[in-house]
Chain A
Amino acid sequence: MTETASTNIIDVRDLQVSFFTDSGVVRALNGVDFAIPHGKAVGVVGESGCGKTVTSYAVLQLLAKTAKITQGTIHFEKRDGSLVDLTQYKPDSSEMRRIRGGEISMIFQEPMSSLSPVHTVYNQIAENLFLHKGMNEKQARERTVELLRLVGISKAAERLDEYTFQFSGGMRQRVMIAMALAPEPRVLIADEPTTALDVTIQAQVLKLIKQMQEEFSLSLMLITHDLGVVAHMVDQVYVMYRGRVVEDAPVMEVFYNPLHPYTRGLLNSIPKLRGPRGKVTSIPGTVPDSYNLPSGCLFHPRCSEFIGEICRRDVPETREVGPNHRVSCFLYNEEPAGHEEV
């Protein structure tokens, strides 16, 4: 399993995840490819239900019992430099538990309900220090105070023994960040960390995350459906649609040279960023249900640049169209379907 050190700390290839529910099989991920380079920040964007959360849960093996990784690999480079495939670990195995939390931490969307209401802030943060850093009570207390100061909580030493319901939403999310940083992870996954917060608080929390990422040279996976957030936060953007990455590119490339019709649609739906002033368009149609996937390119039923039978019939390959810019769309096939008679 051990290979030479790579540029990516996490490398996901052809990841497929299905939920086996009473009402049928939900194909949530249909071959996701993505990678987080060491110390870099990547953003994952896409409409609700496209599989952003499922992707992150798959990495941490936090998926519901009904879910199954049916195909693909999730390579992770451990602290000691060895390369492991996380899909090979059982979710509750000690190897996986050491990585989950210890090396890869997660920040969740709802700071209110994502923290326990009956345990003190200290209790919840120190737990990580005991588990992953082997600290004793005294060290853990000192470290917790430091961490709380680090994330900008004033009077940290006093607030340590308070409960989370005594904190405001923004402060709770700071506690959450302190908690995620406690085990000194190397990867931070933040799943819409500011969606539940006030607009004014959102910017502060995002800034804090960015600051922490730079200070501790964390590799960051930032999940959001807000392209505006991504602009200041990440290096590489992955655009997901129905359980696949349809385009990924350096962040400026995405804004100035979006190639996939879906990416363009997403950009046009943001006010101010693009298109004639005041004109905000939305992508027609909605994300269809995942029980019955369309044939060919998954986006073709909603695509404004549909080019014919091939879109309906074949799954487009992902092609490198520029430095670190990949897209999977027939518009960019070099030899557009020689056998096709349109």
Chain B
Amino acid sequence: MLQYLVNRVLMIIPTLIVISMISFVIIQLPPGDYLTTYMTRLQQSGYTVDQSEIDALNRRYGLDRPIHVQYYRWITGVLRGDFGYSFDWQRPVNQLIWERLALTLAVTTASLFFSWVIAFPIGVYSAVKQYSPGDYFFTFLGFLGLATPNFMIALLLMYVAYRYLGWSVGGLFSPEYMAADWSMGKVIDLLKHLWIPMVVVGTAGTAGLIRVMRNNLLDELSKPYVLTAKSKGLKQVYMLFKYPVRLAIIPFISTVGWQLPNLISGATIVAVVLSLPTAGPLLLRALLSQDMYLAGSFVLLLASLTCIGTLISDVLLALVDPRIRYE
């Protein structure tokens, strides 16, 4: 088990290195860079720009150097905890991203739990009562959730919450807490706002998860060990959860791996609609303005989060499935 864990963690390192390279290259791909965009904008509005000033900036950030040198400078900085400078915001990247990343993490984790908590019992129910009216009802509901665009659900929920419940629902905080320091009150305020993005982001994944759980369990229910368990005279529900459900959970857990990226990108669209102070909107803006260090850092950190997410799901998998542990 320990060996497995160590292997799994070590495997992450090369993955992260490759991801950091790819994200840096992708961000550099569009023609031009932030400085040229910036200069053009200044010149268009009538300013004359001193060439020496440009050169100074270029030299300071190494923008005139080849790409691998730039990458090397950035990544060694990252390793020391310096993520570079955001041209657009004129502030170090460090000051911009952490809170947003934390909030992104909060929204995606909450969505993940939401979809699991909903999908697990419904999936079990649908499998055990296959082809019952309840099964059809949930299947229908699931496909409805799958087919409805996230932003649509977001708008609907916002409308309902605002119109009929009188809640302020945009964003993650009420105005009075927006700029406040972290406090108990702010956390509670966050939780009050979190549910809409949680439901919205979670819904799309839930439908898929219900199908996964239902199909896994149906598979397991027809296996011979279930009959053995029944032949022992165990109580029906106990038997169900100790054996087939226990095994059906295994592939269910591995869905975290592909759920996380979906959730993060799903959360971006929703964040724009709901004007959430998460990473998504900021990343979008950084990409549009070619704010390379900010964008690169975001991409790198989001990818790392995903890697860690899959690592967690792999560890969980090994915990529930001895066949993986003993390989």
Please give the residue numbers on chain A whose beta carbons come within 8 Å of chain B beta carbons, in ascending order.
60, 62, 92, 96-102, 105-106, 108-110, 113-119, 127-128, 131-132, 163, 165-166, 176, 179, 183
Complex-state Cα separation, A114 to B236, whole angstroms: 17
Is A118 within 8 A of B323, CB to CB?
A: yes
Closest 7 CB pairs of A and B: A101-B233, A97-B233, A101-B232, A114-B224, A100-B233, A106-B231, A113-B224
Complex-state Cα separation, A106 to B227, whole angstroms: 10
Looking at the complex, which one of B231, B246, B323 makes contact with A60 (CB distance below 8 Å)?
B231
Given A109-B224, A115-B225, A115-B228, 7 other A-B residues pairs in contact with their CB atoms under 8 A:
A62-B230, A97-B235, A100-B230, A116-B246, A163-B322, A163-B323, A166-B326
* CB contacts between A and B, total, < 8 Å: 76
Is A100 within 8 A of B223, CB to CB?
A: no
Across-interface contacts of B232 in A (CB, < 8 A): 100-101, 127-128, 131, 179, 183
Is A116 within 8 A of B229, CB to CB?
A: yes
Chain B, 198-215, contact with A by CB distance < 8 Å: what is the 0/1 string? 000000000000000000
Across-interface contacts of B242 in A (CB, < 8 A): 119
| Contact (A114, B228) CB under 8 Å given A163-B323, A165-B323, A166-B326 | yes
Across-interface contacts of A96 in B (CB, < 8 A): 233
Tell me if B321 counts as interface (CB < 8 A to partner A).
yes
Is B233 within 8 A of A98, CB to CB?
A: yes
Tell me if B1 counts as interface (CB < 8 A to partner A).
no
Across-interface contacts of B231 in A (CB, < 8 A): 60, 62, 100-101, 105-106, 108
Looking at the complex, which one of A110, A118, A127 makes contact with B321 (CB distance below 8 Å)?
A118
Across-interface contacts of A132 in B (CB, < 8 A): 233
Complex-state Cα separation, A113 to B326, whole angstroms: 18
Is B323 within 8 A of A117, CB to CB?
A: yes
Complex-state Cα separation, A105 to B231, whole angstroms: 7
Across-interface contacts of A108 in B (CB, < 8 A): 224, 227-228, 231
Is A118 within 8 A of B247, CB to CB?
A: yes
Is A110 within 8 A of B224, CB to CB?
A: yes
Across-interface contacts of A179 in B (CB, < 8 A): 228, 232
Distance (whole angstroms) from the CB of A229 to the closest CB of chain B: 21
Complex-state Cα separation, A187 to B246, whole angstroms: 30
Complex-state Cα separation, A100 to B323, whole angstroms: 30
Looking at the complex, which one of B234, B235, B243 makes contact with A116 (CB distance below 8 Å)?
B243
Across-interface contacts of A127 in B (CB, < 8 A): 232, 234
Distance (whole angstroms) from the CB of B219 to the closest CB of chain A: 12
Tell me if B320 counts as interface (CB < 8 A to partner A).
yes
Complex-state Cα separation, A45 to B322, whole angstroms: 39
Distance (whole angstroms) from the CB of B9 to the closest CB of chain A: 24
Complex-state Cα separation, A117 to B327, whole angstroms: 13
Complex-state Cα separation, A71 to B250, whole angstroms: 42
Looking at the complex, which one of B234, B243, B247 makes contact with A97 (CB distance below 8 Å)?
B234
Distance (whole angstroms) from the CB of A176 to the closest CB of chain B: 8
| Contact (A62, B234) CB under 8 Å given A117-B323, A118-B246, A118-B247 | no
Complex-state Cα separation, A97 to B323, whole angstroms: 31
Complex-state Cα separation, A92 to B242, whole angstroms: 16
| Contact (A113, B225) CB under 8 Å given A100-B231, A127-B234, A128-B232 | yes
Distance (whole angstroms) from the CB of A247 to the closest CB of chain B: 29
Complex-state Cα separation, A108 to B228, whole angstroms: 7
In the assembled complex, 23 residue pairs joining A and B whose CB atoms fall closer than 8 Å, in A order, are A62-B227, A62-B231, A92-B236, A97-B233, A100-B232, A102-B233, A108-B224, A108-B227, A108-B228, A110-B224, A113-B223, A114-B227, A114-B228, A115-B225, A116-B243, A116-B247, A117-B323, A127-B232, A131-B233, A165-B323, A166-B326, A179-B228, A183-B232
For A112, give the chain B residue with the smallest CB separation: B224
Residues 59 to 100 of chain B near chain A (Cβ within 8 Å): none
Across-interface contacts of B243 in A (CB, < 8 A): 116, 119
Q: Residue among A109, A110, A117 with the most chain B CB within 10 A? A: A117
Across-interface contacts of A99 in B (CB, < 8 A): 233
Chain B, 179-205, contact with A by CB distance < 8 Å: what is the 0/1 string? 000000000000000000000000000
Chain B, 232-273, contact with A by CB distance < 8 Å: what is the 0/1 string? 111110000011001100100000000000000000000000
For A115, give the chain B residue with the smallest CB separation: B225
Residues 17 to 55 of chain B near chain A (Cβ within 8 Å): none
For A163, give the chain B residue with the smallest CB separation: B322
Looking at the complex, which one of B235, B247, B320, B326 makes contact with A163 (CB distance below 8 Å)?
B326
Complex-state Cα separation, A66 to B153, whole angstroms: 41
Complex-state Cα separation, A27 to B323, whole angstroms: 41
Across-interface contacts of B227 in A (CB, < 8 A): 62, 108, 114
Q: Residue among A60, A98, A118, A119 with the most chain B CB within 10 A? A: A118
Complex-state Cα separation, A99 to B228, whole angstroms: 14
Looking at the complex, which one of A60, A100, A114, A118 makes contact with B320 (CB distance below 8 Å)?
A118
Q: Residue among B225, B236, B323 with the most chain A CB within 10 A? A: B225
Distance (whole angstroms) from the CB of B4 to the closest CB of chain A: 15
Across-interface contacts of B234 in A (CB, < 8 A): 97, 101, 127, 131
Residues 284 to 323 of chain B near chain A (Cβ within 8 Å): 320-323
